[in-house]
Amino acid sequence: MRRYDLDWLRVFVFGLLIFYHVGMFFVPWGWHIKNNVEYTSIRIPMLFVNQWRLPILFLISGMGTFYALNKRTPIQFSTERIKRLFLPLVVGMLLVVPPQVYIERIANSQFRGSYFDFWPAQSFIGVYPEGNLSWHHLWFLPYLLLFSLALVPVFVSLKKNPGGRFITWVKALISRKTGLFWFLLPLYLMESLLEPFFNITHALIGDWFAIANYSTLFFYGFLLMTVQDNFWNTVTKNRRFYLYCGLIGFTLYLGLIMSFEDSILVHFTEALLKVFNLWSWILVLFGYAATYWNRPSRALTYCNEAVYPFYILHQTITIIAGYFIMDLSWGFLPKFLYLVIATFGGSWVIYEFGIRRWKWLRPLFGLKLKKAFTFSKEIKSVPQGK
């Protein structure tokens, strides 16, 4: 049975990613290009979103893997993952990411000349940040591909033994309101003991904390779908409790990092509050989505297909649009709205009138190779949500 709430959550989180990357243009954190005025006041909402946006994406990806393996053999699944992850990554690195690097270089006076002076002659020389070859925001794809291929034997074993001792134990554990918090233990150990020695680089090679952390979350997603009835019953029944946990967790976490200098005690406390906070909000989102979003709709049919091309395209459009306003005297709100509209609008135009309608373009952006239909024709076969 299809979980429409997972489709909605996927669309929601990737949509939120666009707002987050627009925010990175303004917040005083490192990013590819920056506005001429930085706004410290938006750090708190940015920090709030940053806590759980990537963890829930890897969880949802693990859940999707459960469904994919239901319809495919391990070989078929691995082949499909390579087509839908590696091919868009290559296309992205060749065509989508280079404009971002070019804008960054000319904004920082590191290159002079037109884009076609830069691409392809200069765009593939050296590895970013020293060089120009990069996957930038598409780093999610090689990590997901690695986890998908490496964990196939584990997933096949779990699917073959749904009544095994481990699955039986997990079912009993998560049937209790607080049982899901036991999943925090590996996350806490990695956050407290591994993260200080391996900063997240998104370079894959040597990015040991990110690999360990994100692969664990990916595995959690598959595992929770293996015991899905127990999981969904628990999160829907206790969603308000998890909401209180999230509010308390983020408040304490924010108070700690704003009030105390770093020390060994503060580090271990911060790590605990961080994983408690992010896990609580993940449970909140799953609980409320399962309650209110688990139904088909015409909009979901369209958005669920569009979300992957939007993810591939969006940051390039944001950076190009941002370059033309970065030194203007506009205030925060006009610039923010301009970037949001430009990013969503530009992504939609390219998707709707290019990627979606041109059969040969679809697999290059992770879509199934099928005849593309107009929006009005395609949704006629989809039941209207109640």
- Residue 121 included in any domain: no
pLDDT of residue 371: 53
- Residue 336 included in any domain: yes
Average pLDDT value for the chain: 93
Domain housing 299: 1-38+293-386
| Long-range Cβ pairs for the range 174-181 (8 Å, 24+) | 174/224, 174/227, 174/230, 174/231, 174/234, 175/230, 175/233, 175/234, 176/234, 177/234, 177/237, 177/238, 177/241, 179/234, 180/231, 180/234, 180/235, 180/279, 180/283, 181/276, 181/279
- Residue 354 included in any domain: yes
- Tokens 């309101």 -> residue: 177
Domain count, the chain: 1
Q: What is the pLDDT of residues 104-154, one digit of tens each?
A: 999 999 999 999 999 999 999 999 999 999 999 999 999 999 999 999 999
* Residue 211 · residue 54 · CB < 8 Å: no
- Residue 382 included in any domain: yes
Structure tokens at 338: 């301009």
- Rg (Cα) of the chain, in Å, rounded? 22
- Residue 297 included in any domain: yes
Read off φ and ψ for residue 234, nearest 5 degrees. -70, -45
Structure tokens at 213: 């952390």
In the chain, % of residues over pLDDT 70: 96
- Residue 205 included in any domain: no
Read off φ and ψ for residue 162, nearest 5 degrees. -70, -20
- Residue 373 included in any domain: yes
21 pLDDT above the threshold of 70: yes
pLDDT of residue 41: 92
Q: Which residue has the higher pLDDT, 378 or 352?
A: 352
Q: What is the pLDDT of residues 273-308, one digit of tens each?
A: 999 999 999 999 999 999 999 999 999 999 999 999
51 pLDDT above the threshold of 80: yes
Q: What is the mean pLDDT of residues 247-263?
A: 95
Q: What is the mean pLDDT of residues 265-272?
A: 96
Q: CB-based contacts of 373: which residues, under 8 Å, 6+ apart?
A: none
pLDDT of residue 312: 98
Q: Which residues face 133 on adjacent strands?
A: 127
How far apart are the C-alpha atoms of 72 and 82, rounded to whole Å? 14
Q: What is the pLDDT of residues 151-198, one digit of tens each?
A: 999 999 999 888 889 999 999 999 999 999 999 999 999 999 999 999
Identify the burial level of 196 via C-beta atoms within 10 angstroms of its C-beta, where 0-12 means exposed, 13-18 middle and 19 or more buried.
exposed
Q: What is the mean pLDDT of residues 22-49?
A: 96
- Residue 26 included in any domain: yes
pLDDT band with cut points at 50, 70 and 90 for residue 378: very low
